[in-house]
Structure 1
Amino acid sequence: MSQSEKLWQAVVQCDGTYDRCFYYAVKTTKIFCRPSCRSKTPKEENVAYFFRIEDALRSNYRPCKRCRPDLFQANYEPTQEAVGQVQQLLESKYDQSWTLEKLSNHVGISACHLQRLFKNKTGLSPRQYLNRIRIQRAKRLLLNGKMNNVEICYAVGFREPNQFYAAFRKETGSSPLNFKRSQ
């Protein structure tokens, strides 16, 4: 078996033992990947092989967003990075309006894929995660006592008081007023 046949078999089989040994690039998409990448198998005639990342970049190929050959580490899991980016974004900018589409554009993966990954990693959808953060912040503001419920609703990012009350009750099991009285 020739070297190019071995390389091609590694690509077809998504063989991770060849990671860091070589990279393959798809001429039609101008993207290069690790051999273990789970992307769709390209046509063999559209594949070029590189033994160094620099060579692929110099040939005007971009790193794959799925397998991230440019960031590859021994235990690197690109999906965990995307979930972490979304978590960090929601925790720091919880008061802004977020849709699944906006979040997926921010991390560079499809909305459906992000929803599935996020739920697998956290046990919550991005919306549930965001609501949990908002309610935690709302509870602190309620205990502070300087703002009324409607002001808190808008301060933590809800656009309507009804959404705030429903999310608060779902998360805490009580209304904001009852929560404040019980503390």
Structure 2
Amino acid sequence: MLARAIGRAEEGFIALLLAAMTCLTFTQVVLRYVFNSSLIWALETITYMFAWLILFGISYGVRVHGHIGVDLLVKALPLAARRAAGLLAIALCVLYAGIMLYGAWGYVGRIRMLGALAEDIPVQRWILASILPVGFALLAFRLLEQGWAILQGRAAGFELADEARVTLHGHLEDDGAGRGEGPK
């Protein structure tokens, strides 16, 4: 239930950010080439929105198995070894996300303490950078979710994008649980 709510929020934020970036970029192009003008704050705003999009997208990619990887050898392993390799990979990824979360938390805390403002946007920089700890916490959550699926036997290993299936079928289908497991 919580995972589904977080998933819907992720999708909503991703769609909102993509739409806002598109509209703002289009407005900026029209202003620049038709009216020989521009919005001073637009480039910085789009840059921050893109950073937010990437960090939400990382956890979303884990959820829908959209990240690519070389897993030819892992797929050739027996099921128990594939699960162990998946759990090891997930443990290392969670460690990475934890280190990044720790660093991001400290960074956001320091710029909050300094009271630094963004260059062109009248917003404190720590608010704009707050996606860093949020994004890495979401990544850790999604990775732990993958690990739990392996431990419960619902997954054979750390599932990545299946490029061959995408090429053959043109897309990954969503099974309703946001796992993007492809055709049934």
Larger Rg: 1
The answer to whether TM tops 0.5 is no
> Hey, which of these two has a bigger chunk of strand by percent?
1
Give TM-score scaled by structure 1 length.
Answer: 0.24
> Hey, which of these two has a bigger chunk of helix by percent?
2
Does 1 or 2 have the higher relative contact order (CA < 8 Å, sep 6+)? 2
